[in-house]
Amino acid sequence: MKILIVDDEAPAREICRNLLRKYFPETTVCTEAVTVEEAYQAVLLHNPDLVLLDVDMPDGTAFDFLRKLTTVNFSIIFITAYEKYALQAIKFSALDYLLKPFSEGEFADAIRKAQRRETARETESKFNTLLQNFQQPAPTRIVLRTADSMHVLQLDEIVRLQGEGAYTSFYLSGRKPLMVSKNLKEYEELLENNNFIRTHQSHLVNSKYIVCYHKADGGYLSLADKTQVPVATRYKEKVIARLNSL
């Protein structure tokens, strides 16, 4: 595996080199880059399999680098200090990232995941979603991986999510549900600022589809798809406050 390291901080590049040498001696660092332009030229010249890509560079960002490419035929692991919106766009696109400072274990896990190469179509879908989300005031699409395929959804077509242990089912408008192997808490953290409301230990609802709140039977919501979702006591005050703000 040929790896390109893109980071404007020399110590950060050295950490990556040392960890690759320690845990993945079979890999090769084909070159390093500091700027968007250097990274672009390095990709054209070396055709890497994986790019370790810092989000912020002296002449732009990782997103500026990606926009310069006509196709992306390599894996990317984003490396960033905490930048809320950039990190949110990356998460919605189901792309891998390392948050500085990262541990050796986190680095090794990310490289192992990158070694399991995706299809060119899956990679392209993820990067298209990333760039589209980054150009919006807030993310509008999310990438989901089920047991047998990858799906790109508009947030507006998600009616509700239902957690079932380590799995989450996405119920969609006019489409069959999708089940993914992540728990509901992960999606609550991702979607809570995008009009989704946690109503119950097992339920997260898109407020766009709420028709009515019923106080009877402990409290529940009627949704536009004719389903009913319970409102647990611990979430009731927050749900009512959110509904009053719509």
Q: Are strands 56-57 and 60-61 parallel, antiparallel or unpaired?
A: antiparallel
- Side chain identity at residue 151, one-letter code: H
Q: The whole model's pTM is what?
A: 0.83
Cα-based angle 82, 36, 126 (whole degrees, multiple of 5): 65
Q: Are 220 and 229 in contact (CB under 8 A)?
A: yes
Ramachandran category for residue 174: left, alpha or beta (phi over 0 → left; psi -120 to 50 → alpha): left
- pLDDT of the chain along its 246 residues, tens only? 999 999 999 999 999 999 999 999 999 999 999 999 999 999 999 999 999 999 999 999 999 999 999 888 899 999 988 666 678 889 999 899 999 999 999 999 999 999 987 787 888 889 889 988 888 878 899 999 998 899 999 999 999 999 999 999 999 999 999 999 999 999 998 998 889 999 999 999 999 999 999 988 789 999 999 999 999 999 999 898 888 887
For residues 73 and 84, what is the distance between their CA atoms, to the nearest angstrom? 27
- Element (H or E) spanning 50, and its range? strand 50-54
Q: How far is the C-alpha of 90 from the C-alpha of 162, rounded, in Å?
A: 23
Domains of the chain (ranges, CATH numbers)? 2-134 (3.40.50.2300), 141-245 (2.40.50.1020)
CA 159, CA 138: separation in Å to the nearest integer? 18
| Neighbouring C-beta atoms of residue 206, cutoff 10 Å | 22
Residue 194: helix, strand or coil by DSSP?
Answer: coil
Nearest alpha-carbon partner for 75 in 96, 98, 105? 96
Three-state SS for 180? strand
